[in-house]
C-alpha cells in the first residue's frame, strides 16, 4: 500500500493512545492519554505528533467494538432464523464455562427471547430448496413491532444457499429503512448453526455503535484536514476500509492487539528468529501471541467474553495484568493483582489524578524501576509519595512494608503473565524454551526478562519504538481480505475448484476495497477426522492434491494434539483465503539508528528480591549499534522503560532492537 504522503498509525488502548507517523524516510512517534470518545484522543494525538501536517492515510487500531461488547452497550438486536431454531444461541453446546463450578453460567444471549423470530422455508445441506419461505408479511410486521436497532438473519444451511436469507433481508429492509441487517451467509458462511448464528448476532449487536464511531471518526478526521482516507485494523492482522469495517464490526473485535503482533512478526523475520512470543504489556492488560516462521498464529474460532466468533483473528491471549492493574486482598487474605484497572482516569495513584488504590505502575515507581522525573505520555508527572501511600496502605493490611508490598505486587503480576505465555505455548504443544520473547508496550520492558527466565526462554528482544510498537505495527500491516466458505468434502471430491473460487473472491474483494491487487493469496482448508468434533486448519494450494492435504493434516494434528491416525478417513469442512497487499512501510525501510544525546544518565537504587542494587541509567536514543549494557541497569526512552537485572546483558542490534541474554 504505497503512500504518496505521510501515513499515521493510531492504536487506542485503555490508558494511552499510541501514534506513529511515517513519511517515507522518517518515523515520528508519540503518546497521549486515551479519551472516553476515542476519536478525541486520535485527533488530539495526531495534531501533537504531526504538528498539523496533513497525511494521506490514517491507520486505526480500535477497541470500540470490544468495549461495547464487554460493557454490553450494543444495539437492541432481533434475530430471524429458521422455525425451530430460535433458541439455538441460548442452548449452545454441552460444554460449560467452568467444569467444576455449578454457579458459572453462559453469558446472556445478545438477542433476547422476545426478539427472536422463526421463518418457514428450508434448503438441504447441498443447498437445494425443499420448502419455499412462507409469506413474509407477517414476519416483517412482527419484527418491525419489536422496534429493533439491528437485525441478524441466520437461516439453516444459508452457508450453502444464501438466496433465502437475501429474500428475507430484502423484505425487512423495505419495512425497516436504515436499520442495519447482518446475514450469516455474508458474516460467517460456515457450518455449525450455533457458532454461525452467534457470530451473526454479535456483528448485528455491534454494527450500529461501531458504525457510528467509525463514520464520526472519518468525518472528524476529514474536517480537521488530518487525512483523506481511514483504514481499520482487522483482528486477523491486516487493514480494511473504514466503510467495510463499519458493516463488519465482528472482524475488528481484536483490532487493538493485532498491530503489535504484526510488528513482532516483522521484527522477528528481520532478526532471523523462527519462534517468537509477542508480549505487549500496556496500562490495562497484557496480550501475548505465538509466532512461528514469521507468521502469527491465527485462530478461526474463539470466544469473545463467552460469545463464539467465527472470524479469523491473531491468536492473542489477554490477561488483566497491565501497569494500571490494581492490587488488592481477597477474602482469604491473599494478594491479588487485576483484572480491575485504574484506567487513564483516575489512573494509578502516582498519576496524581485522585486514584488511591495501588497498581503495578505504583510498585515499579516505588522500587525504583521508574523515575519520579519520568513524564508518561509526555505529560503525566509521577507522584512518588502518592504511590508510597497507596502501597503502604495495602502493606499495612498484610503486615509488611511498602517495598516488600511493591515486590509482591510485581511477583504476582509476573505470575499472571507467565500463565498467559504458557497458554499460547505449552498448552498448544509448543516449547517456550525454544522461543524469544518480544517485549513492548509502556511496561513490557520492565518485566520481560523476569518472565522469560521463569519460562527458560532463549532471550528477550525489546524493539525500537517499544512504547508505541502497536502503532508502528499498523504501518507494517498490509491491506487484507479474509474469505471463508463452508464445505463437506472427502477424498475424490473436487476441492481444487472451491479453493480456486474462494481465492478469486478474496482477490476481487481486495481490489474492490483497497484499490490494488494482492501481493499474496494464501489458501487454507479446515480438516478433521470423520466424526471428529473439531478441525485443524492447514495450508493448501490448488493442484497439490488430496494426498498432500492429508499428510499435512496428520502432521499438524500430531504437533497440536500429540497423536495422528493416518489410516482414518478425513474430511474438509471449510476453505479459506487470505489476500494480503502492500503495506505502507516494511521493516527494512526504517533508517539506521543514529545516536542522539548522552547515553549514560547516572544511576539509582532499585529494590530487588535480593536487596537494594545500584542500577546504571541509560538513555536508549544515545546508545550506538553494538553497545552493550550490563545489568543491573535501567534503559529509558521517550515512551517506555526497560529493566535489565543482574547477570543480564543487552546489546544494540543494527535494527535498533535490544537483544537481551543471560
For residue 344, being part of any structural domain is answered with yes
Residues 74-103: what's their mean pLDDT?
89
Query: Residue 433 carries which DSSP code?
Result: G
* pLDDT at residue number 135: 66
Residue 211 inside a domain? The answer is no
> Count of domains in the chain?
2
Q: Mean per-residue pLDDT for 222-227?
A: 82
Identify whether the C-beta of residue 198 lies closer than 8 Å to the C-beta of residue 250: no
Structural Rg of the chain based on CA atoms: 26
Mean pLDDT of the region 419-423: 94
- If one counts every other C-beta atom within 10 angstroms of the C-beta of residue 392, the result is 17
413 — pLDDT class (breaks 50, 70, 90): very high
Q: What percent of the chain has pLDDT over 90?
A: 70
User: With 70 as the cut, is the pLDDT of residue 127 above it?
Assistant: no
Confidence of residue 560 (pLDDT cuts 50, 70, 90): confident
- CB-CB contact of 86 with 194 (8 Å): no
User: Region 369-397: what's the mean pLDDT?
Assistant: 89
CA atoms within 13 A on the CB side of 196: 25
Residue 430 lies in a domain: no
With respect to residue 561, please indicate whether it lies within any of the assigned structural domains.
yes
Compare 242 and 48 and report the one with higher pLDDT.
Answer: 242
Choosing from 558, 582, 606, the residue where a domain stops is 582
The CA-CA-CA angle for residues 494, 499, 502, to 5°, reads 135
Cell of 358: 495501588
Judge whether 394 lies within some domain: yes
In this structure, what C-alpha cell is assigned to residue 611?
536487596
Domain end (from 582, 616, 642): 582
- Give mean pLDDT, residues 438-443: 93
- Is it the case that residue 124 has pLDDT exceeding 70? no
Residue 377: pLDDT band by 50, 70, 90 thresholds?
low
Q: How far apart are CA 508 and CA 497, in angstroms?
A: 17
pTM of this prediction? 0.90
Report yes or no on 189 lying in a domain.
Answer: no
- What residues make up the domain containing 485? 480-582
Q: Which whole number is the average pLDDT over 570-586?
A: 95
Whole-number Cα distances in Å, 240 to 182, 204, 233, 252, 418: 18, 18, 6, 9, 33
Q: What is the pLDDT of residue 129?
A: 62
Cα 146 to Cα 143: distance, rounded to the nearest angstrom: 5
| Averaged pLDDT score across all residues of the chain | 91
Q: Could you read off the pLDDT of 301-320 as tens digits, one per residue?
A: 888 888 999 999 999 998 88
Q: How far, CA to CA in Å, does 630 sit from each of 192, 593, 605, 647?
A: 55, 21, 15, 7
Domain boundary among 384, 412, 440: 412
Measured in residues, the chain has a length of 662
The string of DSSP letters for 264-309 reads HHHHHHHHT-SEEEEEEE-SS-EEEEEEETTEE-EES-EEETTEEE
Considering the domain boundaries, does residue 485 fall inside one? yes
Tell me: the pLDDT tens digits for 158-211?
998 898 899 999 999 999 999 999 999 999 999 999 999 999 999 999 999 999
The angle at the Cα of 353, spanning 349 to 357, to the nearest 5 degrees, equals: 25
Average pLDDT over residues 635-648: 94
Mean pLDDT of 540-565: 94
Between residues 1 and 191, the one the model is more confident about: 191
| Comparison of pLDDT for 427 and 364, the residue scoring more | 364
> Confidence band (pLDDT; 50, 70, 90) for 67?
confident
Question: What CATH number is attached to the domain comprising 520?
Answer: 3.30.1490
Tally of CB atoms within 10 A around 215: 14
Is residue 71 pLDDT above 60, yes or no? yes
pLDDT grade, residue 475 (50/70/90)? Answer: very high
Confirm if 121 and 133 have CB atoms less than 8 A apart: yes
Do 484 and 562 lie in one domain? The reply is yes
- pLDDT (tens digit, 9 = 90+) per residue, 23-37? 989 999 888 877 888
Q: Is the model's pLDDT at 344 over the cut of 80? A: no
pLDDT in tens, 492-504: 889 999 999 999 9
Q: How far is CA 356 from CA 135, 306, 392, 431, 598, in A?
A: 62, 32, 11, 41, 37
> What is the structure's pLDDT at 131?
59
Ranges 4-18, 81-95, 525-539, 607-621: which has the least confidence: 4-18
Helices (H), ranges, 541-620:
546-561
Provide the terminal-to-terminal Cα distance of the chain, rounded to the nearest Å: 40
Q: Residue 52 above 80 pLDDT?
A: no
pLDDT for res 297 = 85
Q: Cell 515512551 sits at which residue? A: 639
pLDDT digits (tens, 9 = 90+) for 250-301: 999 989 889 999 999 999 999 999 899 999 998 888 999 999 988 888 899 8
Q: Is the pLDDT of residue 96 over 80?
A: no
Residue 291 in contact with residue 437, Cβ under 8 Å? no
Q: Answer whether residue 251 is part of any domain.
A: no
pLDDT attached to residue 556: 94
- Shared-domain flag, residues 403 and 491: no
Amino acid at each position: 500500500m504505497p503512500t504518496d504522503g505521510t501515513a499515521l498509525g493510531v492504536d487506542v488502548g485503555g490508558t494511552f493512545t499510541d501514534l506513529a507517523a511515517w513519511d517515507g524516510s522518517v518515523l515520528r512517534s508519540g503518546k497521549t492519554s486515551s479519551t472516553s470518545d476515542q476519536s478525541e484522543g486520535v485527533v488530539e494525538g495526531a495534531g501533537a505528533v504531526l504538528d498539523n501536517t496533513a497525511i494521506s492515510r490514517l491507520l486505526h487500531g480500535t477497541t470500540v467494538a470490544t468495549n461495547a461488547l464487554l460493557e454490553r452497550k450494543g444495539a437492541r438486536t432481533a434475530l430471524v432464523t429458521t422455525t425451530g431454531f430460535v433458541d439455538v444461541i441460548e442452548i449452545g453446546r454441552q460444554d460449560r464455562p467452568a467444569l467444576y463450578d455449578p454457579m458459572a453460567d453462559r453469558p446472556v444471549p445478545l438477542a433476547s427471547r422476545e426478539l427472536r423470530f422463526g421463518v418457514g422455508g428450508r434448503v438441504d445441506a447441498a443447498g437445494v430448496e425443499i420448502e419455499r419461505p412462507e409469506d413474509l408479511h407477517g414476519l416483517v410486521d412482527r419484527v418491525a413491532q419489536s422496534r429493533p436497532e439491528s437485525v441478524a438473519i441466520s437461516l439453516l444451511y444459508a452457508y450453502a444457499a444464501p438466496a433465502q436469507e437475501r429474500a428475507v433481508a430484502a423484505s425487512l429492509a423495505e419495512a425497516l429503512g436504515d436499520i442495519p441487517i447482518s446475514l450469516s451467509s455474508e458474516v460467517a458462511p460456515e457450518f455449525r448453526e450455533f457458532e454461525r448464528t452467534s457470530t451473526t448476532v454479535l456483528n448485528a449487536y455491534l454494527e450500529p455503535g461501531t458504525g457510528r464511531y467509525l463514520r464520526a471518526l472519518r468525518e472528524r478526521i476529514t474536517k480537521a484536514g488530518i487525512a483523506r482516507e481511514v483504514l481499520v485494523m482487522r483482528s486477523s492482522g491486516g487493514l480494511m476500509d473504514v466503510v467495510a469495517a463499519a458493516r463488519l464490526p465482528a472482524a475488528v473485535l481484536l483490532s487493538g492487539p493485532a498491530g503489535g503482533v504484526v510488528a513482532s512478526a516483522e521484527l522477528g523475520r528481520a532478526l532471523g528468529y523462527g519462534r517468537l512470543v509477542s508480549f505487549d504489556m500496556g496500562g490495562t492488560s497484557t496480550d501475548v501471541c505465538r509466532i512461528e516462521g514469521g507468521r502469527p498464529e491465527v485462530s478461526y474460532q474463539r470466544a469473545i467474553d463467552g460469545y463464539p466468533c467465527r472470524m479469523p483473528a491473531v491468536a492473542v491471549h489477554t490477561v488483566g495484568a497491565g501497569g494500571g492493574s490494581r492490587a488488592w486482598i481477597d477474602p482469604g487474605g491473599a494478594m491479588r493483582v487485576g483484572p480491575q484497572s485504574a484506567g487513564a482516569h483516575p489512573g494509578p495513584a502516582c498519576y496524581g489524578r485522585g486514584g488511591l488504590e495501588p497498581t503495578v505502575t505504583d510498585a515499579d515507581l516505588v522500587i525504583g524501576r521508574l523515575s519520579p522525573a519520568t513524564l508518561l505520555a509526555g505529560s503525566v508527572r509521577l507522584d512518588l509519595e502518592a504511590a508510597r501511600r497507596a502501597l503502604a496502605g495495602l502493606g499495612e493490611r498484610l503486615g509488611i512494608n511498602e517495598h516488600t508490598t511493591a515486590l509482591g505486587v510485581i511477583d504476582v503480576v509476573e505470575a499472571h503473565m507467565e500463565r498467559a505465555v504458557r497458554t499460547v505455548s505449552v498448552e498448544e504443544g509448543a516449547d517456550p524454551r525454544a522461543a524469544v520473547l518480544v517485549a513492548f508496550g509502556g511496561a513490557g520492558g520492565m518485566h520481560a526478562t523476569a518472565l522469560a527466565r521463569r519460562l527458560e526462554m532463549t532471550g528477550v528482544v525489546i524493539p525500537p519504538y517499544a512504547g508505541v510498537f502497536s502503532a508502528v505495527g499498523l504501518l507494517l500491516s498490509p491491506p487484507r481480505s479474509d474469505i471463508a466458505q463452508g464445505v463437506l468434502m472427502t477424498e475424490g471430491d473436487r476441492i481444487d475448484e472451491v479453493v480456486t473460487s474462494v481465492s478469486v473472491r478474496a482477490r476481487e474483494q481486495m481490489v474492490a476495497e483497497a484499490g490494488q491487487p494482492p501481493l499474496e493469496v494464501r489458501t487454507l482448508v479446515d480438516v478433521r477426522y470423520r466424526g471428529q468434533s473439531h478441525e485443524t486448519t492447514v495450508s493448501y494450494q490448488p493442484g497439490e492434491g488430496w494426498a498432500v492435504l492429508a499428510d499435512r493434516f496428520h502432521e499438524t494434528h500430531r504437533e497440536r494434539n500429540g497423536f495422528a491416525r493416518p489410516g482414518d478417513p478425513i474430511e474438509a469442512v471449510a476453505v479459506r483465503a487470505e489476500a494480503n497487499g502492500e503495506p505502507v512501510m516494511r521493516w527494512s525501510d526504517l533508517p539506521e539508528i543514529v545516536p542522539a544525546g548522552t547515553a549514560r544518565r547516572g544511576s539509582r537504587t532499585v529494590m530487588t528480591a535480593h536487596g537494594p542494587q545500584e542500577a546504571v541509567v541509560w538513555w536508549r536514543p544515545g546508545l550506538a549499534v553494538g553497545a552493550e549494557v550490563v545489568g543491573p541497569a535501567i534503559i529509558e526512552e521517550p515512551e517506555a522503560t526497560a529493566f535489565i537485572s543482574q547477570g543480564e546483558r543487552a546489546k544494540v542490534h543494527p535494527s535498533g532492537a535490544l537483544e537481551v541474554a543471560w
